[in-house]
Amino acid sequence: MVNSSYSLALNAFADFTHHEFKASRLGLSGAAIQFRRPNLREPRLVRDIPDSLDWREKGAVTQVKDQGSCGACWSFSATGAIEGVNKIVTGSLISLSEQELVDCDKTYNTGCEGGLMDYAFQFVINNHGIDTEEDYPYQGREHTCNKEKLKRHVVTIDDYTDVPMNNEKKLLQAVATQPVSVGICGSERAFQLYSKGIFTGPCSTSLDHAVLIVGYGSENGVDYWIVKNSWGRRWGMNGYIHMIRNSGKSEGICGINMLASYPIKTSPNPPPSPPPGPTKCDFFTYCSAGETCCCTHRIFGICFSWKCCGLDSAVCCKDNRHCCPHNYPICDTKNNQCLKCLPTPVKPAALSAPLRMCSPRRRKKGLHFAGQSFQIFVPGGSVFEPIDFCDKIRLRTDNVGDTEPFLAFTYEEEAVIDETLMFDDLADAADVGACWKCHNNGII
């Protein structure tokens, strides 16, 4: 499809429904915008504005990143602006950690559920810096905040400022000084399928997506912004879009003049942290710096034997033998591999599986079943993860594995489980019954 100034294409998002696209690829929080208080400063801006400018050519823009199906566009816009001003002030281009913002910036922002760049800037200020992408890599989903990496203040900022709303002249002056974070309406179908050219809409001014302006220019008499997105290099022009500038509307194309802000940096970054010392496992056992302590023998919750995993901040697998890198945190010991993310969800369903009954003399008193099967009810919207149920299910209030809660069933004609159960596919769910075994203390 061809417009007078831009083209659409069957890109990586062409098979997304409009609802799927809006639910997974945006992330600018409307609630955060509503309660935002403008922070207007008077920083020193460029007075002699060049006719065109591209901060990529000046080495102030990192490679295009991909937020995946996590609504964390706000974090990518914020880190991009900080990366830019850090390069301009210090001469070093350092890719910064969106995952730190997603995991740890929880005062006003809500991780994959959305956020705002102003709050991200304030978080970095309050935290006295932010870690690198290399050290705290992006996962595409929320995790518990890594408090150790939160202390690694590699790049700092001193303040931030908002560009006056609907003031394109001030926005141009800001972009001539450094890359600028902006909010736009990114949910329109034309924006979703954009391929190349100068985007002119249609789009509303209902802001729902955050991007980064990294320059501006003109083509055949039409002015445009150079905008870096966070949908990977397969979208647009290798991850970028040209959006019309001087459109005649005060709010700008897709509301680009309505919500602009950028960080202020005047001081140098702190010196590098000293190399870490040995990792303490217990009073007698240590691992070298950069290694992780993993328990190999535990009794009643107390570890009596340790081994050193040769990876920093690794995930120790439940088989007490293997470990996985922190950026591939899912242990698949059955296939001897580490996974970066959970398998693709399957459709919710009510599943049935055969149940191998204990002999009467081993049945626990008061436990009975009406038949030779039980039902597993999988709630809609559940997240599915492979779990080996063999030798891990206990009666009543015990646990599956170490932490996953499981409601055992007694005094019922069928097993109705109202917890979120995890399977990688329906076939595995149907095989669960084969894992149940008889034991002196009941069923395990």
Residues designated as active site:
73, 209, 229
Do residues 192 and 23 lie in contact, with contact meaning Cβ atoms separated by under 8 Å? no
Nearest to 159 by CA among 79, 269, 262, 271: 262
Let me know: does 27 contact 115? Beta carbons within 8 Å: yes
Q: Which residues, 6+ apart, have CB-to-CB distance to 102 below 8 Å?
A: 70, 72, 75, 111, 112, 138, 139, 142, 143
Contacts of residue 172, defined as CB under 8 A and 6 or more positions apart, other chains included, come to 49, 216, 245
How many angstroms separate the CA atoms of 441 and 432, rounded?
Answer: 20
Q: Cα(352)–Cα(94) distance, rounded to whole angstroms?
A: 52
DSSP string for 22-40: HHHS--B-HHHHHT-----
3-state DSSP call for residue 174?
helix
Query: CB–CB of 327/347 below 8 Å?
Result: no
| Rounded Cα gap, residues 121 and 126, in angstroms | 9
Q: Are 228 and 212 in contact (CB under 8 A)?
A: yes
Contact 353, 429 (CB under 8 A): yes
Which residues, other chains included, contact 371 with Cβ-Cβ below 8 Å and sequence gap of 6+? 414
* Tokens found for residue 94: 């350092």
- Contact yes or no for 181/262 (Cβ under 8 A): yes
Q: How far apart are CA 200 and CA 4, in angstroms?
A: 9
**Distance between terminal CA atoms of the chain?**
60
Residues 107 and 113 sit within 8 Å (Cβ to Cβ):
no
Half-sphere exposure of 402 (CA within 13 A, CB side): 9
Q: Are 213 and 180 in contact (CB under 8 A)?
A: yes
